[in-house]
Structure 1
Amino acid sequence: MVKAVFFDIDGTLVSFKTHEVPQSTIEALDMLRKKGIKVFIATGRHFSSINNLGDLQFDGYVTLNGGYCFAGDKVIYKHSIPDRDVEALIRYMETEESFPCAFVREKDIYMNYKDETVEEIFNMLNFPEPPIRPMNEIRGETVYQLVSFFTADQEKKIMQILSHCESTRWNPLFTDVVPAGSSKRIGIDKMLEYFRIPLNECVAFGDGGNDVAMLEHAGIGVAMGNAEDDVKRYADYVTDSVDEDGIFKALKHLNII
């Protein structure tokens, strides 16, 4: 019996085309709630950047790719990047090469600078642009995630600098850098433990590379039709795209609603 459903946001709950949640998905979420099934967010976004869910209500939030989880006012779990990795990255960008980077703290986000690539991604995601501040102001601050605009070719070298971190890339133009051991998989485990729900009684929906660990781990992992093939192969079921009522159809197919 399914008691919990986790949803990625971008490309899963929210369309890249309209930047909105389809009406069929809104109806599906309402049906889940009426059946007493808990609904959760599992996203790479910071809570302050979740600007595209309207009035929808959720029982808990797995944010920052599992690095910061909360339900209501209760912080369930948090895992930050080691200070030495943040310092190493700052030194690298000061002496070797610089790239746009968003530093995600507990309560806010800011960037060192932005360029056309950043503008392109923020427009695609309808993402609220963080303020620009000098990079050295992050020294001594606790950072939970880096939204780093470097390519896959640059990644191998830069991740050697961030030796206690992992890259969770889901777009060729940028990656979410998280502390080693963070993932949506860990986040849903923490949330399920808090609500005392067994893993085999949860379903997870996603479409990106940072959803793979969650899809593979959940009782039932559902990949959206707009996901890449290397994501779909980790899912138990592949539904239609977000723009083709994929969530509603999958929940119906699985006899959950």
Structure 2
Amino acid sequence: MNIKAVFFDIDGTLVSFKNHKMPASTKEALWQLHNNGIKIFIATGRFKDGLEVLGDIPFDGYITLNGQYCYTNKEVVYENFIEKEDLASLLEVLDEQPFPCGFTMKTGKIYNYKDKRVAEIHSITHNDDQPTGDLSRVLDEKVYQLMCFVSKQEEEKLLEKMPHCTSARWHPLFTDVTPLGGTKQLGIDKFLSYYNIDRQETMAFGDGGNDLQMLNHVAHGIAMGNGEEQLKQIAEYVCDDVDHDGIVKALRHYELIK
């Protein structure tokens, strides 16, 4: 099998929801891919400040914020941000019918307020302890992604007021709202062009709803055993879960590592 690029989600894929760490077996597998000349990439809803969990693994590129900010260790390859018109509409909604909302900007994330829903997600990701504060500045900065703690029904109503945005949900408590166009799928295409790699030479691993497009787009889409059922249904292969060496087993199945 001629695979030149493998893309990995983080939470629930590379990193366990149980202990918030990357298994030693997964680290070894990533190093083997790198040493075998296969390029490895991150494709995550996290931003740069949430990647410490990856340690010293030499990734060739990072698709962050579900595709809104893509970069190598040398340069930004692509960025996409929410239109001011949509942000203004959101601020009106938050004023009339408040719900916890995190705004991710290059300078960091800020919440309007937090409640037990935010605390529950932070207990899973260990990546949502950013401050609350004044939102007046968000209209003057690039906002790449929103973390909206709303139900599925509320999400649909919200998007009606934000026509230039889309959403991706990997947990019942919240959805990531991003500008149209920027997706993990687009991030993959940006890096394939950057490194001159054909899409038929790609593989991706994921576990959540925000990985659907990515697994459908690559040549070989792998769903984690702990992943959502809809993802497993469209995957080429379902491996074991993150806590039982799923990454290693899948890469060995495809004979990419020993």
TM class by smaller structure: over 0.9
SS in structure 1 opposite 2:130?
Answer: coil
The one-letter code sitting in structure 2 at the alignment partner of 1:177 is V
| Aligned residue in 1 for 2:236 | 236
How does the TM-score come out when normalised to structure 1?
Answer: 0.97
The one-letter code sitting in structure 2 at the alignment partner of 1:213 is Q
Q: How big is the shift at 1:93? A: 1.2
Matches of 2:128 and 2:120, distance apart in 1: 12
Superposition CA RMSD, Å: 1.0
Matches of 1:99 and 1:134, distance apart in 2: 15
Runs of 4+ in 1 over 3 A off after TM superposition: none
Matches of 2:175 and 2:158, distance apart in 1: 12
| Aligned residue in 2 for 1:160 | 160
Q: How big is the shift at 1:108? A: 1.3
Alignment of 1:241-256 (within 5 A): 241-256=241-256
Deviates more, 1:151-160 or 1:202-211: 151-160
Matches of 1:155 and 1:194, distance apart in 2: 34
- Cα-to-partner distance string for 1:68-113 (whole Å, 9 max, x where unaligned): 100113100011111100011001211x201111111123111111
The one-letter code sitting in structure 2 at the alignment partner of 1:21 is M
The one-letter code sitting in structure 2 at the alignment partner of 1:185 is Q
Matches of 1:201 and 1:175, distance apart in 2: 31
The one-letter code sitting in structure 2 at the alignment partner of 1:72 is N
Check conservation: 1:150, 1:175, Cα contact below 8 A.
yes
Alignment of 1:13-162 (within 5 A): 13-94=14-95, 96-162=96-162
Matches of 1:153 and 1:160, distance apart in 2: 11
Residues 1:188 and 2:208 aligned together: no
How does the TM-score come out when normalised to structure 2?
Answer: 0.97
Matches of 2:52 and 2:87, distance apart in 1: 27
SS in structure 1 opposite 2:256?
Answer: coil
SS in structure 1 opposite 2:53?
Answer: coil
- Cα-to-partner distance string for 1:135-170 (whole Å, 9 max, x where unaligned): 223122211100111111211111111111001011
SS in structure 2 opposite 1:131?
Answer: coil
Matches of 2:138 and 2:186, distance apart in 1: 26
Check conservation: 1:90, 1:136, Cα contact below 8 A.
no
Q: How big is the shift at 1:55? A: 2.4
SS in structure 2 opposite 1:255?
Answer: coil
Check conservation: 1:51, 1:127, Cα contact below 8 A.
no
The one-letter code sitting in structure 2 at the alignment partner of 1:207 is D
SS in structure 1 opposite 2:204?
Answer: strand
Q: How big is the shift at 1:233? A: 1.2
The one-letter code sitting in structure 1 at the alignment partner of 2:148 is S
Q: Structure 2 stretches of 5 or more lacking a match?
A: none
SS in structure 1 opposite 2:143?
Answer: coil
Deviates more, 1:229-238 or 1:239-248: 229-238
The one-letter code sitting in structure 2 at the alignment partner of 1:67 is Q
The one-letter code sitting in structure 2 at the alignment partner of 1:112 is N
SS in structure 2 opposite 1:233?
Answer: helix
Matches of 2:28 and 2:73, distance apart in 1: 23
Deviates more, 1:100-109 or 1:79-88: 100-109
SS in structure 1 opposite 2:234?
Answer: coil
Q: How big is the shift at 1:128? A: 4.3
- Cα-to-partner distance string for 1:3-49 (whole Å, 9 max, x where unaligned): 11110000000000011111110110111011111111000111112
SS in structure 2 opposite 1:103?
Answer: strand
Matches of 1:81 and 1:128, distance apart in 2: 20
Check conservation: 2:69, 2:79, Cα contact below 8 A.
yes
